[in-house]
Chains A and B, each alone.
Chain A
Amino acid sequence: NAGVTQTPKFQVLKTGQSMTLQCAQDMNHEYMSWYRQDPGMGLRLIHYSVGAGITDQGEVPNGYNVSRSTTEDFPLRLLSAAPSQTSVYFCASRPGTSGGPNTGELFFGEGSRLTVL
């Protein structure tokens, strides 16, 4: 049971570099999302998707892009990394889209720790 798979688990970037965090789920979940976790701030929603071809912004979308070409994959792109993007990133998914963009149990990946120097 793979669930939600994130890669890479660790990454170090220099300021200005770009990269993509990968997220894949094998549960046929319609809803997928990206969070960042910073000390003392809980989890903050970056972007989310309610289905293939549909994405929307969360609380902290600036500096990040997403796309959803398939149900399974939801990559997060950093176009020009900044030290403020040093964080742990979590991808999460859930079945269905009823009741709004964020209801019901979320299934999380193990996280990707990003450091921007």
Chain B
Amino acid sequence: GNSVTQMEGPVTLSEEAFLTINCTYTATGYPSLFWYVQYPGEGLQLLLKATKADDKGSNKGFEATYRKETTSFHLEKGSVQVSDSAVYFCAPVPEGGKLIFGQGTELSVKP
């Protein structure tokens, strides 16, 4: 069946450190891939997306590349800020199927 595996948290980094949050998935066909972010006390909001192989989604300094050969969509940021502290969810959407959320990775950035 369709599933997604995210890097476990919590992840604690110092400001300006490099961030990688791993995400791998299993899905039929060619899914669209999403990263959502949940700031404290808020609902989820779309961070970035990619709809086909080798596409790179980017927003707010975050990037993720759709790697079909490794079925991965790792989230990266070169220099994190305290304001990036949040929970990040990887979410593949299989063709014609339901959006699947990963379990979420909590990121805490210290000054």
Contacts and interface: CB of A to CB of B under 8 A. Distances in A.
Co-complex (A, B):
yes
A104 B46 CA distance: 10
How many chain A residues sit at the interface, stated as a range, is 20 to 34
Contacts of B45: 108
Contacts of B96: 99-100, 103
Contacts, number: 52
Interface residues of B, number: 21
B102 A42 contact: yes
A102 B103 contact: no
B98 A4 contact: no
A26 to B, nearest CB: 15
B21 interface: no
Nearest to B34: A105
A90 B99 contact: no
Give chain A's interface secondary structure class: loop
A42 B34 CA distance: 14
Contact of A102 (B44, B49, B97): B97
Contacts of B34: 105
A102 B93 contact: yes
Given A42-B89, A105-B34, A110 B99 contact: no
A82 interface: no
Contact of A40 (B36, B89, B103): B103
A75 interface: no
Interface of A: 4, 35, 40-45, 58, 90, 92, 99-106, 108-111
12 contacts: A4-B43, A35-B101, A42-B89, A42-B102, A42-B103, A43-B89, A44-B101, A92-B43, A100-B97, A101-B98, A106-B99, A110-B42
